[in-house]
Amino acid sequence: DTPLMRLWYKRDGEFQLPKSFVTLDLVSPLAYSDPVCCNLTSIWVLLLRDSLQQFAYSAELAGLRWSVGNAKYGLSIAIDGYDEKQHVLLEKIMEHLVNFHVDPARFKVMKESHIRAIRNFEAEQPYQHAVYQQAMCLSDLVWTRCQLLEAAHSLTPEQLTEFTMLLMRRVHVEGLMFGNLTRERALEVADSIEDKLPKDATPLLAQQLLLYREIEIEKGSWFLREIENSVHKSSCASVYYACGVRRVRQNVVLELLAQALSEPCFHVLRTQEQLGYIVFSGIRRSNGVQGLRVIVQSDRHPAYLEDRIENFIRRSQEYLENMTDEEFLKHRSSLAAQKLEKPKRLATRASQMWSEITAQVYNFDRMHVEVEELNTVTKDELLEFYMKHISPKSLERQKLSVYVVSTAEGGAGNKEASEENDNETLQPTKITDLVDFKSRRRLYPNPLPFINIPRKGAHCKL
């Protein structure tokens, strides 16, 4: 653990294979500081993948899989497979990162590919637009595709060269090495990575490495975000019920509720009412906050779809109240069995540990901790959770609806809105200006870490 790098290491004693999993996050506040930098990061990753293809065949022969990607926090590198030559491939990738040179011809190709990918999102399914709009409403900082597209056209190779040099000098590396590795070898690899970073690299401060946070919807409120889609005939309604910050007890109760309602939701909305082929209910987790989400994609108007979703939610109270103790225990034991199921692959186990590290929660024994908590949950507690967070009768319910209305030929946007339920006493507050909406809302805190780990980054000694 140094000002520039933090490495997590664990020797595999479970799978007993000559393999290991190495993943690195190169975290920098520059990567998502504005739409230009966000675009440059994406194009940089495309060019890196392109230049590293020369090693792809050799890596495959050595039994190695690798990936380079980008996210809001920066760049990510993952290598999975036989451990003998992993360090060689990792060094090659780091060399390409630090000593990156832009080929103007390839830059033009990748820039066009990036712009095309942004534009092609318009043709994605309506439910994907609903998920995207929901994230736009709830994330404290997110650049819209319109902003990214506008900024992408003027990018130049010179900008990318300057950007990569600056980012590699303002970066913090966090990594995990898990598998058939000794502690000494892991430290050698960590030293070689840090040695490859520019000598004039400046350690990031702890404040620059804070996680993004989620917008908090006021208790008892209902907001609606409505957009149009001219590509698909289908429309979509997504309804989200926020349940607060992730904590062990809340996690297992929400998961138990989601499991109990999953089959009835599909049966009622898909099989009985035949609203559409895509009917989904489950948990949405983002930035340490969680909630229950129901999505229905259909040829019907989203207002009608939401009315049917709310009708199902209303009837769920009776379903939960009439659930026998035997049915409740069956749901509880089924969820416990899912949690305790051992991963089939080493990479899956490593991904579980890595998700705890990136979320800065560090609950590495989550499955056993949560199952112990789950086994003490009662049916009355489940019903109480439903009545507080999900039930239409609750005065504390926090609800966000997203409508994707089709304006294509034959779409619901061209029909009379007679399907909408005008008898509702409570009408939603429409979100028309995202910046204004977010600026007037509080943010949820980040989840508390399960174990006390010092914050990464440089700290002032004053």
* C-alpha pair distances (Å), 219 with each of 136, 184, 287, 390, 391: 20, 52, 19, 12, 13
Q: What is the pLDDT of residues 364-375, one digit of tens each?
A: 999 999 999 999
Q: What is the pLDDT of residues 14-70, one digit of tens each?
A: 999 999 999 999 999 999 999 999 999 999 999 999 999 988 888 988 899 999 999
Domain boundaries, the chain: 5-208, 214-444
pLDDT of residue 461: 54
How many CB atoms are located within 10 Å of the residue 447 CB? 20
Regarding pTM above 0.85, the answer is yes
Domain 5-208 has CATH 3.30.830.10: yes
pLDDT at residue 457 is higher than 80: no
pLDDT of residue 195: 93
Q: What is the pLDDT of residues 127-165, one digit of tens each?
A: 999 999 999 999 999 999 999 999 999 999 999 999 999
pLDDT of residue 10: 96
Phi and psi for 20 in degrees, rounded to 5?
Answer: -150, 165
What b/e string do you get for 316-334 counting C-beta neighbours within 10 Å, with b at 16 or more?
bbeebeebeeeebeebbee
pLDDT, the chain, mean: 93
3-class state of residue 86 by DSSP: helix
pLDDT of residue 418: 43
Query: In this structure, are strands 74-82 and 215-216 parallel, antiparallel, or unpaired?
Result: unpaired
The average pLDDT across 81-99 equals 93
The average pLDDT across 424-453 equals 92
Higher pLDDT, 252 or 459: 252
CB 193 within 8 A of CB 173: yes
pLDDT of residue 424: 52
CATH number of 214-444: 3.40.50.10860, 3.30.830.10, 3.30.1370.60, 2.130.10.30?
3.30.830.10
How many CB atoms are located within 10 Å of the residue 187 CB? 13
Higher pLDDT, 260 or 454: 260
Asked if domains 5-208 and 214-444 share a fold, the reply is yes
pLDDT of residue 415: 63
pLDDT of residue 224: 98
Higher pLDDT, 281 or 2: 281
Three-class DSSP labels, 113-169: HHHHHHHHHHHCCHHHHHHHHHHHHHECCCCCHHHHHHHHCCCCHHHHHHHHHHHCC
Q: What is the pLDDT of residues 287-320, one digit of tens each?
A: 999 999 999 999 999 999 999 999 999 999 999 9
Q: What is the pLDDT of residues 340-357, one digit of tens each?
A: 999 999 999 999 999 999
* Position 152, amino acid: A
What b/e string do you get for 142-154 counting C-beta neighbours within 10 Å, with b at 16 or more?
bbeeeebbebbee
pLDDT of residue 460: 56
Give residues with Cβ within 8 angstroms of 376, minimum separation 6: none
pLDDT at residue 441 is higher than 80: yes
Confidence category of residue 256, pLDDT binned at 50, 70, 90: very high
- Counting residues of the chain whose pLDDT is more than 90, the rounded percentage is 90
Give me the count of residues in the chain. 462
pLDDT at residue 458 is higher than 80: no
* Position 250, amino acid: Q
List, as one string, the DSSP characters of 224-290.
Answer: EEEEEESS-S-EEEEEEEEEEE--HHHHHHHHHHHHHHHHHHHIIIIIIS---SEEEEEEEEETTEE
